[in-house]
Structure 1
Amino acid sequence: MSDATTPPAPAGWYPDRITGQERYWDGTTWTVHARPVAPLADTGAAIVSPVATAVAEPSAEPAPKMSRNILGIVALAVSAVGFIFACIPGALIVGWVLLPIGFVLGIVALVQKGKPKWLGLTAIIVSIIGTIVGVVVFFSLAAGAVSDALNDAVLEDVGTSEVADDDSAQDEPATAGPVDLVLGEQAWGMDSNGYGWYAVEVTNPNEDYVFTSLASIEVEAYDAAGVLLDTDSTYGTILQGTSMYVGRFLQIGAGAIDHIEVRGPQASAATSSPLNETGSFTMGQITSAQEYDWVTTTGTVTSNFSEDQEMVRIDLVARDAAGTIIGVDFTYTDRVPAGGTAAWNSSLWEIPIDSTITAFPHL
């Protein structure tokens, strides 16, 4: 079949491109007659199939050239700059701002039609790697800052490790560290209601250290068989010097106290506080009055602390004529003014009126 715009060729023999021979064209259609290709005369002209023009496939149009991906270029540039800033300790924040922008632009550039994809893909990869590098740099800086802070704190607490001159070392006496508390007199007993009580003497021999309220004095009551009957704890600041601490056992039941054990804070729990800077209390005169089975006791406490002291505890110890502890009690004052005096009162149960009562203030 020929193109409507091309006239049919005249009848004759023409090359058959399929068999490589010549086939006869009757002016309208191809026949079944074929023959070997005859030698061509040197006429300088080529024999063309009459339907060559009709059956030849149109040549393919050249592929359109892709336009430049401007967004991809921008995304790659932003990611590259962000990567550089992420590696600089003083400019991390700039890198963390640019890298997400480059990542988003890279994704948009990657999905654009008719644009080169490699720029957007490269921008995404660079932004991800830059973010990882930025995180590593940040944590390295943070670790270094923490280490420097700890080193500074240690130096402030213990000083430098430089060795002083021999002359200065001899002139300055070595500062002794704190030592453990010293446990002294102990006493315990039971009242008619079946409750136990105790009194223990504790000495803080450290003139320049106190034990804060985070430390406690724990007293345990045992029977003759070594069975733990009850435990009581006293929390408060242990100042310098000797004081008595009292308390009660409320869970003795039918048991009987045979002995007590006392545990207090160790020297490592002491806090530096020079004696002339700490402050102290002074107890005033104590008076007693009998009322049935109670002995009502009143007194005063004076403070030389530079600040008001709230809820000062007063521990009371009653002794008989022989000096034996026969009862205890404790009370609190609402406030002892700085450099001032406050009154207190308490009632001791089943204590003879002629007992000697002493009081010990505690923070």
Structure 2
Amino acid sequence: MIATMTDPTKPPPGWYDDGSGRQRYWDGAQWTEHTAPLAPVASPADQAATVPYDTVAYGSIPGTAAGEVTPAGVTTTMPGAPSRTSEPGKVNVLGVVALVLAALGFVLACIPFVQIAGFVLLPIALVLAIVALFLPGGKWPAIAGLIVAVLGAIAGIVVFAVVTVGVVGQIVDSEVIPEIEEQLEEEFSQVPTEEAEDADGAATATLAFGDTQAWDDGVSMTVSGPEPFTPSDLAAGADQAEDVVFTLTITNDSSENVQPVVFSRLESDGVEATRILDVGAEGGQVGIPPTTAVLPGESLTWREAWSVADSASLTLQTAPSFTYEDVTWTSER
């Protein structure tokens, strides 16, 4: 009878952990197809009592480190099988890419006029970060990328809103307001001249306070001389050196009604006067233009109060309505 010789450099036959969560039988030369569940892990004392060999006698079992004693039935990795020892954490490459794109998008979204690039990168980073959360490896790059992408979108929207408001404001200031001022100036203002023509072709002149301007259609207007005015406690607009009041009268000797639309402007010593509104003034309220139509053969009288720099230097421009050219009354004739 011939005795079977075993290779002293290989472990003896037995059951070993093949790295897949089960044991496989090693016949001393190669792995067999026979498998079994893993045996319960024995205590260190039991392992020491049942060690059948050591690395001095048999060498290392395939998959174990040199010099390591491996008890039978509790052993290590099957030759060629992956180790059961946990591997170091893998880098989540997609999460890192998402974080980089999110950071770049955040920066670009905060720079005016190149925000479009940031708004393109941030959604991409957001999607990649969400996908990276479900991939193996560290989760922190994906979580950080997700947070940075959201914050970048918020910051970009805020910057875009601020820039848009600023640009619109500049456009309004540089184009719209001057255009409105020019239209108002053309419609309501007139440089005083010695002679001008009203809408009906009648010649008008610069008049002294107390004079009457008559138009060809039979409508006339009179502005009295200025009188001192004492504002009541309910007055608004009395903010200059002196306060004066004028009495204005429209007389309609035409055949049609006249709807007054009065827009008076007063200048005092080169300074624009301030209109006073006073509902508690003695003798009735002042400063509110008339709105009642003047019937043929009738007249309408009201008072206008102004706060002026110098009551001795006054120039008033007014007319019964927009259909009549403004007439100038002055104290400087």
How does the TM-score come out when normalised to structure 1?
A: 0.33
Bigger RCO (CA 8 Å, 6+ sep): 2
Say which structure is richer in strand.
1
How does the TM-score come out when normalised to structure 2?
A: 0.35
